[in-house]
């Protein structure tokens, strides 16, 4: 009888552990936190479309921000390196920073070529797969060959879902599809594991974070750096957003705040 009770207790413990494991993983603090910058567009058309202003950075501001990073000794790293260091429990060498671009706009290729590469900087491009074309097609969005060129130059491509859906509002089946199909598509096209996810519009909750983990992502990022949300977790890492008119002073303040939260 004692043995039966002990077996039942073991099975119950195993079931409980399995049930709790994803929750525990989602609640794990990111062991290594680095500043993550978020960009969308670099251009001078912010004022002409007020709704876009938060997502457009003036070319001169962007150049000044990149120069600031170089002058202050920052080294751009990829999510691949961040996760690799995190799994070994060692900090990336030097002063790490991640530069990320969302949505896969074709114009981001020129920014990488003209502004990042000459400064020795690299970026992560979060693309949503429904927008990426098989070849450059004038749609305004990047193509798979262009993304492969970016990676050949040292940048990396990660996931921003399939359709840029509002993940907190979709049905469970679509949530799964957005997470899994985008990951599979990028892995098939880019020939490497996809580890990081950027939530469209930054929208996430416990269910979304859990779905990201179950879909095989090792971390996920927000679209804000609001420190009041709490400590950075693996599936809700903050990002510093730069928008129209954000000059060097705000950039430096954000970077310093980001460093203080590490």
Interface with Zn ion by CB under 5 A: which residues? 102-103, 200
Pairing of strands 240-241, 36-39: parallel
Nearest to Zn ion of 167, 190 (CB atom): 167
Rounded Cα distance between 159 and 107, Å, is 18
Q: Rounded to the nearest whole angstrom, what is the least distance from the CB of residue 202 to Zn ion in the complex?
A: 9
- The torsion defined by the Cα of 200, 55, 229 and 232, in degrees rounded to 10, comes to 70
Of 37, 52, 223, nearest to 124 (Cα)?
Answer: 37
Q: Rounded to the nearest whole angstrom, what is the least distance from the CB of residue 254 to Zn ion in the complex?
A: 19
Nearest to Zn ion of 122, 241 (CB atom): 241
Nearest to Zn ion of 122, 239 (CB atom): 239
Q: Rounded to the nearest whole angstrom, what is the least distance from the CB of residue 36 to Zn ion in the complex?
A: 15
Nearest to Zn ion of 85, 132 (CB atom): 132
Which residues make beta-bridge pairs with 123? none
Q: Rounded to the nearest whole angstrom, what is the least distance from the CB of residue 164 to Zn ion in the complex?
A: 6
Rounded Cα distance between 105 and 113, Å, is 14
Q: Residue 117, class by beta-carbon neighbours within 10 Å (0-12 exposed, 13-18 middle, 19+ buried)?
A: middle
Nearest to Zn ion of 102, 178 (CB atom): 102
Q: Rounded to the nearest whole angstrom, what is the least distance from the CB of residue 79 to Zn ion in the complex?
A: 16
- E strands within the chain? 36-39, 41-42, 56-57, 74-76, 95-102, 124-127, 156-159, 196-198, 219-221, 240-241
């Amino acid at each position: 009888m004692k043995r039966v009770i002990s077996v039942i207790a073991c099975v119950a413990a195993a079931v409980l552990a399995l049930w709790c494991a994803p929750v525990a993983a989602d609640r794990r603090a990111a062991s290594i936190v680095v500043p993550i910058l978020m960009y969308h567009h670099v251009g001078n058309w912010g004022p002409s479309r007020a709704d876009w202003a938060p997502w457009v950075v003036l070319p001169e501001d962007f150049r000044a921000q990149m120069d600031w990073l170089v002058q202050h000794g920052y080294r751009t790293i990829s999510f691949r390196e961040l996760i690799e260091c995190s799994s070994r429990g060692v900090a990336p060498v030097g002063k790490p920073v991640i530069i990320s671009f969302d949505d896969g706009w074709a114009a981001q290729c020129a920014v990488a070529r003209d502004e990042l590469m000459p400064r020795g900087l690299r970026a992560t491009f979060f693309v949503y797969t429904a927008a990426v074309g098989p070849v450059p097609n004038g749609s305004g969005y990047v193509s798979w060959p262009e993304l492969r060129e970016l990676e050949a130059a040292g940048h990396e491509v990660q996931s921003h879902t399939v359709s840029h859906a509002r993940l907190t509002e979709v049905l469970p089946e679509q949530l799964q599809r957005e997470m899994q199909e985008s990951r599979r598509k990028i892995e098939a096209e880019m020939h490497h594991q996809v580890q990081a996810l950027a939530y469209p519009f930054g929208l996430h909750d416990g269910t979304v974070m859990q779905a990201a983990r179950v879909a095989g992502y090792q971390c996920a990022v927000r679209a804000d750096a609001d420190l009041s949300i709490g400590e950075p977790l693996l599936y809700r890492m903050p990002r510093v957003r730069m928008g129209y008119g954000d000059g060097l002073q705000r950039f430096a303040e954000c970077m310093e705040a980001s460093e203080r939260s590490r």
